[in-house]
Structure formats: structure tokens, C-alpha cells
Amino acid sequence: MTTAWGGILPEGKAGGDSLYHLMAASFGMFAGWMDIKVGDLLFTAMIVLASCMLMGLLRPRKPWRWVLLVGIFVPIMEWLAYFLLSQKPMRAQIYESFLAFLPGIAGAYAGAMGRGVVDNLFPNK
């Protein structure tokens, strides 16, 4: 079975990660919305950390994609709030929203590593 880009998928695997991508994007939008409403980057960082850790635990292969999918929505939501809402975040707040990638990296890779530990402790028979 080949994919549209020419890659070969193992038999019985359809690559159904679209639900997980949608979950990661919604976690990122929630984190961005909370950053706008609360205005505390530390709280936003904890949301991004927990979201990326959960996504890394659920789908440990390529954990960097969860960092990108969750983390990119924090600055996007700040940017959209600046142009669409009456509540205008400061320019520094928009730039510091890119710092949400850092706890996302730690969370995604910790979740993937935790999944590896669980899989080694309780192997499928």
C-alpha cells in the first residue's frame, strides 16, 4: 500500500493521525485564547506543556510535530486578537508568545519518553 507521496505504509495502518492533529490544534487555540484572556505567559506555558505531554504520550512518533501544532497557535491567536478584537495585546506580549515553544518541546519529548517507558514495562503479548 503506497501513499500519495510515494511512501509505503505497513499493512493494516492507514495513518489515522488527523484526529490527533485536530486535538493538538484545538489545544493550541485554547492556550492562545487563555493567553489573551488571562495575560499570564506562565499559565499559558503550563497549558502548552500539558497539551504537548499528552500528545507525546498518545502519539510518541515524531514529537516535534506536537510542538509545532500546539505552539504555533499561541502567537497566531495573539496576532488575531491584535487585529480583530478590541482588546489589544502589547507588541512585547505578541513576541513573548513565541516562548511557548520551549515548554512544548519539553512536554512533547517527555510524553514520548514516558510512552516508551510504559511500553517497556508493560509489553503487548
- Looking at the domain assignment, is residue 109 inside a domain? yes
- Computed from CA positions of residues 115, 119, 122, 125, in that sequence, does the dihedral angle turn out positive or negative? positive
Number of domains observed in the structure of the chain: 1
- Looking at the domain assignment, is residue 41 inside a domain? yes
- Looking at the domain assignment, is residue 123 inside a domain? no
Strand partners, 23: none
- Looking at the domain assignment, is residue 99 inside a domain? yes
pLDDT tens figures, 49-105: 999 999 999 999 999 999 999 999 999 998 898 889 877 778 788 888 898 899 999
- DSSP string of 36-75, one letter each residue: HHH--HHHHHHHHHHHHHHHHHH--SSTHHHHHHHHTHHH
- Looking at the domain assignment, is residue 64 inside a domain? yes
- Looking at the domain assignment, is residue 121 inside a domain? no
Residues 77/36, Cβ–Cβ less than 8 Å: yes
- Looking at the domain assignment, is residue 90 inside a domain? yes
- Looking at the domain assignment, is residue 112 inside a domain? yes
At 17, the amino acid letter reads D
In which domain, by residue range, is 106 found? 18-116
- Tell me, what's the pLDDT at 11? 45
